């Protein structure tokens, strides 16, 4: 029995654009495994025995004053970069920034903030927000430069707010202990 369809053309694995063919359209349906893994490790690594509640390394690492905040910032940057790479609308980036802002405010309170951080799980919330936005097909269809400028501006504004809050917290702490 013969087939009426021609054999598919097989191209060697090369850069399609360099070979004169259009680049294949990549359809994204979820965030990358790297950011999903980071969110799981930071927020949902182990189940607390006797409960349905899961906890990650974020509140544990948060007990170490500078290291915990730095690692949390790196993971937040990875999730924000994932959102920007998938051209998530800027208003979604601001919602993600709000989650990180709440996380930062909670983290200012020693020990109590780490417990609240375990309950808030900003990284997992933001990754679910990115996944839902991608799954719904809500992408920005503007030119790359204009979107990148707005996205970087939004992230920069969020960073300024976080840095300002950190400065106020440091000022308040120094005031309380009598160094100012």
Q: 146-166, pLDDT tens digit by residue?
A: 888 888 888 888 878 877 877
| Under 8 Å between Cβ of 19 and 11 | yes
Per DSSP, helices labelled H in 121-143 are 122-135
């993971």: which residue's tokens? 75
Please determine, for residue 12, whether its predicted confidence score (pLDDT) is greater than 60.
no
DSSP 3-state assignment of 38?
A: helix
Q: pLDDT class for 5, splitting at 50, 70, 90?
A: very low
Q: Which residues contact 7 (CB under 8 A, 6 or more apart)?
A: none
Which residues on neighbouring strands pair with residue 46, listed in sequence order?
55
CA distance 46 to 64: 20
pTM for the model stands at 0.67
pLDDT digits (tens, 9 = 90+) for 107-122: 777 777 777 777 888 8
């Amino acid at each position: 029995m013969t087939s009426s369809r021609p054999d598919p053309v097989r191209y060697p694995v090369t850069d399609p654009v360099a070979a004169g063919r259009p680049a294949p359209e990549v359809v994204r349906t979820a965030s990358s495994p790297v950011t999903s893994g980071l969110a799981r490790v930071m927020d949902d690594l182990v189940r607390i025995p006797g409960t349905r509640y899961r906890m990650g390394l974020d509140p544990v690492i948060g007990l170490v004053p500078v290291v915990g905040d730095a690692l949390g910032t790196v993971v937040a940057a990875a999730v924000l970069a994932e959102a920007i790479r998938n051209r998530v609308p800027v208003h979604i980036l601001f919602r993600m920034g709000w989650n990180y802002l709440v996380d930062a405010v909670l983290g200012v309170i020693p020990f109590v903030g780490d417990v609240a951080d375990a309950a808030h799980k900003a990284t997992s919330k933001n990754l679910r927000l990115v996944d839902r936005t991608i799954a719904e097909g809500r992408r920005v269809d503007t030119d790359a430069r204009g979107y990148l400028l707005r996205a970087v501006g939004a992230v920069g504004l969020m960073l300024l707010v976080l840095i300002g809050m950190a400065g106020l917290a440091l000022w308040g702490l120094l005031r309380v202990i009598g160094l100012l």
